[in-house]
Structure 1
């Protein structure tokens, strides 16, 4: 898709306007209700759908298909990010009314960092087509790693700060308590960070780790930097509302890792086939419509199986809770019979 600098500028200005509106609405710290989160989640998904349809009408059908495939993939991968966001919020004991501000700024930092990643990735791909082999192999390895972690069934009980975050805390110092929405305060004449600033940096910089698999994944669906950037932008900008909407449902998505591993593995194979095709090897390439079908199908199946498994587990736990009482009643009745 041939994108002019004018369209790039208008797109970035439009995204900045949307982010400004989002910031203006959430500028006052408050507890986000499920209703509010649901309404804004629908708004962001609708805006993404309208943008994709706009590409179909004013651009190309292939560009529209690539955007929807990329958006759905990035959105599904971002849901996995929410597990870590929950751990970060718990570690730093973020007050509930400040969490929406943390996510807003943290996601904004993540968006800027991802834009840098996308620009670098596009430059590398444009000059070195063999990088598709590396991207494909990395995604297949990541898919296998996700399966291993899911089978181990090990949950992280804490969030471990990365070295960059630790060095920033050491350099500026951190206050011992929250000071509303302030990011810096004066303590004994020295300017130090508040815990709120630390959490925002933690959210933003941690997303870089997720970008290591999500950016190669979307480049496996499209090599158009414009589609890659806009799909990432729309997927990230609705992440704050999604956090409050499905925060309580995250633990129910027990098969999410399996679904994501299938998606990443599938895109990894697609990248390798594309790399072979670019090298002159006659191999079949996977089309965007087929990719979109596979991605949506895997997510639907994963969600259904997760809910079924969770329901069975809850029923089993409920039955297990009743058994001791029944056992006690049986034992006492047997004792009574023995005494008689």
Structure 2
């Protein structure tokens, strides 16, 4: 029996070496015969118990050789077949045919508006400053002249971190101003764009998260007139060369005096429409001269330096620019809505 098993192995080795399947089906048959779960080599492995002890090693080596040669032959046949298939496919490819169209994405209207605002202020020498969204109470409130018992805190419903009264999701990017003022010496000329969070009911006009751009300029001799001219330049660049502005007295804890700035309605040319509530004016930002106490809090001498600050919501600017009536559209990522901005850069 052992002599017959040796002969069968020799015959299988010769068959493996001589095999030359011509197509994919024949290659698969080769695999099943020599490498499948019921291959022809497997039964011979049981014959090793009938082989004399002095021949067991030789018999085992022949079995391993048959398996290895079968695997090598199959890999070689498979590689040749795949190469031939690729060559055949390439031969049938018309390289002169037009390519498949690729759907390009579009910029988000908030990103488009933010980039536009940043470019305007960069032309005035402002540099972008970015900071953390999880902030401590001091940089977010106290440094900005808003101590724990200040009534202005009631204006902003804050998301505090769980089990913490010190760490919170920033309610405005004024915290970036505080960090810059405590780490840099004047002159300072920055804009601080970023996402902010407030615990507000989500509706067509408000959201619990939105984006702001705040600006800060501190140097010797900075005046209210400097602020007015800076913001007038911004309004004309943003909304058109015929845009007019007006400043109305207001209150912010970190500026004094403070103002709200309106621009003449660019939708109706100040004739009156739904966007401007038929007043001819649209409010776009808050501003004011930096309160001396804020400078003191951040280690800047108010006797030597003065400055102005301003802040605006990016979503509000985007909604006015593109006549969007529901702020929720800016956060829902509806492709049908976003595709309308595919031509905007």
Same fold per TM (> 0.5)?
no
Greater strand proportion: 2
- The TM-score with structure 1 as length reference comes to 0.23
- The TM-score with structure 2 as length reference comes to 0.23
Greater helix proportion: 1
In our comparison, the structure showing a higher alpha carbon Rg is 2
Tell which has more relative contact order, 1 or 2 (C-alpha 8 A, sep 6+): 1
